[in-house]
């Protein structure tokens, strides 16, 4: 089962390497990883997606909590939550394909953020499934380069992860 963990971490050198090291050391996998400082700059927030059954997620959570620099861990998938991923994608766009791609981009509510004679760079946000669907819609042949941020997640409504 896919799980999305939100982790508040001391914003210190080496803290992230302990989190990643833990996953490697205990043979847990990381599917996506996203990290940046929060509004409180002494804290970083990590969103990490992984897979595993309930026992495994419980172990991961417990081991994360054992790390001194981990302040809080929440399994967002346990409750209502929102998740988004940002993708920058460069696609070949020549001749009549240019219109076609533009239309597809509009349907997915993407934005063309850079243009050359034979390529578009498109920015798209949404769930990971939406981004996957967009890539499929464009067709593999058109895709030149893909950058994805990894998932960011937040609890819905008044669920707040803070100190």
Dist CA 161 CA 128 (whole Å): 22
Measured CA to CA in angstroms, residue 28 lies from 7, 22, 127, 155 at distances of 16, 8, 23, 24
If the CB atoms of residues 10 and 83 are measured against other proteins, the closer one turns out to be 10
Q: Which is nearer to other proteins, 51 or 59 (CB)?
A: 59
Question: What track of x and - describes contact with other proteins for positions 3 through 22 (by CB under 8 A)?
Answer: -------x--xx--xx--x-
Question: Which one, 15 or 142, has the nearer CB to other proteins?
Answer: 15
Supply the minimum distance, in Å, between the C-beta of residue 21 and other proteins. 5
Within positions 89 to 118, which residues make up the interface with other proteins, using CB under 8 A?
none
Stated length of the chain: 163
Question: What sign does the dihedral 12-17-22-25 (CA atoms) show?
Answer: negative
Which residues from 28-87 bind other proteins, rule CB under 8 A? 55, 58-59, 62-63, 65-66, 68-71
Nearer to other proteins, 25 or 51 (CB): 25
Angle at 134 between CA 129 and CA 30, to 5 degrees: 40
CA dihedral 51, 55, 61, 65 (to 10 degrees): -150
Binding site for other proteins (CB under 8 A): 10, 13-14, 17-18, 21, 25, 55, 58-59, 62-63, 65-66, 68-71, 163
């Amino acid at each position: 089962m896919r799980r999305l963990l939100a982790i508040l971490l001391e914003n210190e050198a080496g803290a992230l390497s302990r989190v990643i090291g833990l996953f490697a050391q205990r043979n847990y996998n990381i599917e996506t990883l996203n990290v940046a400082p929060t509004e409180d700059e002494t804290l970083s927030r990590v969103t990490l997606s992984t897979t595993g059954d309930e026992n495994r997620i419980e172990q991961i959570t417990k081991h994360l909590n054992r790390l001194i620099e981990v302040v809080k861990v929440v399994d967002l998938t346990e409750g209502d939550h929102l998740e988004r991923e940002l993708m920058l994608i460069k696609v070949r766009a020549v001749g009549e394909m240019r219109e076609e791609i533009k239309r597809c981009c509009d349907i997915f509510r993407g934005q063309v953020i850079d243009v050359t004679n034979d390529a578009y760079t498109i920015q798209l946000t949404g769930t990971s499934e939406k981004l996957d669907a967009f890539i499929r819609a464009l067709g593999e042949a058109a895709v030149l380069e893909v950058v994805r941020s990894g998932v960011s997640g937040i609890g819905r409504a008044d669920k707040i992860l803070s100190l």
